[in-house]
Amino acid sequence: MKILFLLLLVILGAGAFVGELMIKDSGYVLIAYNQTTIETSLWVLLVALLIIFIATHWIVNLLTRTQLPTAKLKAWKDHRNQRISRRKTLKGLTSLSEGNWAQAQKQLAQAAERSDLPLINYLAAARAAHEQNNEQATDDLLQKARSTTPEAEVTVAISQAEIQLSRGQLEPCLATLLRLRTLAPKNTYVMKLLKDIYVRLNDWQALSKLLPLLQKHQALKGEELEELNRQCYSQLLDDSLNKLPIETSDDDRLKALGKTWQDLPNEQSRDSDLVQRYTELLVSLGAESRAEQNLRDLIKRNWNEKLVNLYGRLNGENTKKQLDNARSWLKSHEESPALLLTLGRLSMRNQHWGQAVKYFEQSLEIEPCSETLAELARLLRHLGDNERAQQLLQQNLNLVASGLPELPMPEEQASA
């Protein structure tokens, strides 16, 4: 406060002193240039110079400060663009979800031009263009996504592969996915897309090489993977014969089939469906005895009711030995309905009719089954015991005609 007071006193004193000088002698200044002259007092010139200095200083400061408003203007403009981009993106995604493909494509593409993350907009716009079957626009939008965000090549390529797969462009899609495998070898979604391509191209050999990776990286659920394994290796077994020339001998066909079977992974060679398919192919080539031996070895290593049932359908080279082998399994599987059914069939092959009837009856008692019932009824009719066969069928009518709805029935009429 004291300093301010002293400053005011100094200013007042200086002003009084200058004012006295101005009254005492105002001075004279003449400025002449060419034909122009300016006459003024010294003090007016000094005041004018002071005003010019202050004005110049103020203008310079104003110009230097405009750098900050320019940056703020740019920031405001960027913020406005982002706001507009977000609004159009939201509208575009809404249109996309509602199936308004043309509107979605337009809004998303426009928003991409202002967006700081154009990748999302271009990919969604490409999807909208694809839904309109506009291939050229789709490819152009994917290329824009690739050029604006080169580091997202995997993402763009996945979208491209999905669109190619949807178009049915299997070969180009395969090329895209194989390139993706080099860029992202552990990407499970790429593996799943590649799996779909191999299935549609019926390239089971390539799929068989992909299956271990699908399992290793858990790209598919357990049941789906098992079914895919079964489908793939079953097709490989079929192809081992179907792709051979027509004039190929049965021996060469057996060798080709055997090699494919040996190349199967151990766990697949124990799959009951694949074993059944392999057995059917062996039988079709007249190698039923070989099928019986292979099936017998598999059953010994890994008991399977379905394979045991299949064993009874084969006509081995030595039916007596085949029956003895099946009987030996009774020691550890005496309650197996499939084994008893098989023993009944093998007994029939050896013409042991009475023993066959007993085996069928035991199997039917443990587990009522239409297949066992049909075998027993057929055997009884051929043995001349039609009444017993008819009675058996009547007692087990629910097995013969399963799936009938519950309906009211008339009361049974007493026989006269």
pLDDT digits (tens, 9 = 90+) for 80-95: 767 877 888 888 888 8
> In this structure, what are the phi and psi dihedrals at residue 128, rounded to the nearest 5 degrees?
-65, -40
Q: For residue 404, give the H/E element and its range.
A: none
What's at 360, amino acid-wise?
F
Q: What is the pLDDT of residues 143-176, one digit of tens each?
A: 999 998 899 999 999 999 999 999 999 999 999 9
Helix (H, G, I), strand (E, B) or coil at 117: coil
Q: Are 363 and 369 in contact (CB under 8 A)?
A: yes
Model pLDDT, residue 14: 66
pLDDT digits (tens, 9 = 90+) for 255-269: 999 999 999 998 888
156: how many CB neighbours lie within 10 A of its CB? 22
For residue 71, the number of C-alpha atoms closer than 13 Å in the C-beta half-sphere is 4
The mean pLDDT value for 299-307 works out to 90
Distance of CA 249 to the CA centre of its chain: 43
Q: What is the mean pLDDT of residues 361-373?
A: 91
| Euclidean distance between CA atoms 16 and 22, whole angstroms | 10
Measured between alpha carbons, how far is 95 from 100 in angstroms, rounded to an integer? 5
More confident site: 232 or 416: 232
| pLDDT tens-digit series, residues 193-226 | 999 999 999 999 999 999 999 999 999 988 999 9
pLDDT of residue 338: 95
Residue 58 has pLDDT above 80, yes or no: no
- Name the one residue in this structure whose structure tokens are 């043309």: 102
CA torsion angle 155 161 165 168 (round to 10): 140
Other residues' Cβ atoms within 10 Å of the Cβ of residue 336: 20
Contact present, 290 and 321 (Cβ < 8 Å): no
* Mean pLDDT, the chain, whole residue set: 85
| 3 state SS of 141 | helix
CB contact set of 86 (below 8 Å; sequence gap of 6+):
111, 115
pLDDT tens digits for range 84-140: 778 888 888 888 889 899 988 888 888 888 777 788 888 889 999 999 999 999 999
Sketch out the chain's domains with CATH numbers: 27-60 (no CATH), 319-397 (1.25.40.10)
Torsion sign over Cα 198, 204, 210, 215: positive
pLDDT of the residue at 50? 75
**Spatial distance between the Cα atoms of 170 and 159, rounded to a whole number of angstroms:** 14
Q: Which pLDDT belongs to residue 415?
A: 46
